């Protein structure tokens, strides 16, 4: 449990982006995100691509999009990795995007079962 003093000190210092991000995360009640269950639009996907290219962490991107880190990873797999992955480059791709190869293979194969 976060102490009242810690919470208040963060709340008072909204000018510091890092501390405000922590405050915002606490205020939004931990794991429940505002955009949970809402489809990704084209603009949000383009922004995600730019953030990945700029090497932002999944945690930072999740805060920006108000989604879970897992939701970010799934979109990276479906929209960025899936079109470019091959048997020859799969280990390199997994390392580049910091996603476990078994996770990539799971979501790519899961999509094939749906189609």
Same domain, 23 and 68: no
Rounded to whole angstroms, the Cα distance separating 58 from 19 reads: 18
| pLDDT tens by residue, 76-96 | 999 999 999 999 999 999 999
21 and 52 assigned to the same domain: no
pLDDT of residue 98: 94
pLDDT of residue 107: 86
Mean pLDDT of 90-111: 90
* Sequence-ordered list of residues with C-beta below 8 angstroms from that of 67, at least 6 positions apart, any chain: 33, 35, 36
Give CA–CA dist 70/83, Å, rounded: 19
Q: Is the dihedral of CA 96, 63, 30, 25 positive or negative?
A: positive
Looking at the structure, tell me whether residues 16 and 35 fall in a common domain. Answer: no
pLDDT digits (tens, 9 = 90+) for 31-75: 557 787 789 999 999 999 999 999 999 999 999 999 999 999 999
Domain extent, residue 49, equals 31-114
**Number of structural domains the chain divides into:** 2
Residues 56 and 17 both lie in one domain:
no
Pair of tokens at residue 40: 């990704």
């Amino acid at each position: 449990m976060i102490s009242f003093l810690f919470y208040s000190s963060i709340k008072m210092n909204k000018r510091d982006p890092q501390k405000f991000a922590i405050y915002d995360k606490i205020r939004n009640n931990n794991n429940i995100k505002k955009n949970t269950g809402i489809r990704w639009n084209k603009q949000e996907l383009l922004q995600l691509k730019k953030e990945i290219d700029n090497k932002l962490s999944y945690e930072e991107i999740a805060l920006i999009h108000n989604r879970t880190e897992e939701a970010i990873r799934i979109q990276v797999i479906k929209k960025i990795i899936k079109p470019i992955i091959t048997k020859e480059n799969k280990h390199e791709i997994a390392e580049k995007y910091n996603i476990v190869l078994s996770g990539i293979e799971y979501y790519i194969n899961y999509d094939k079962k749906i189609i």
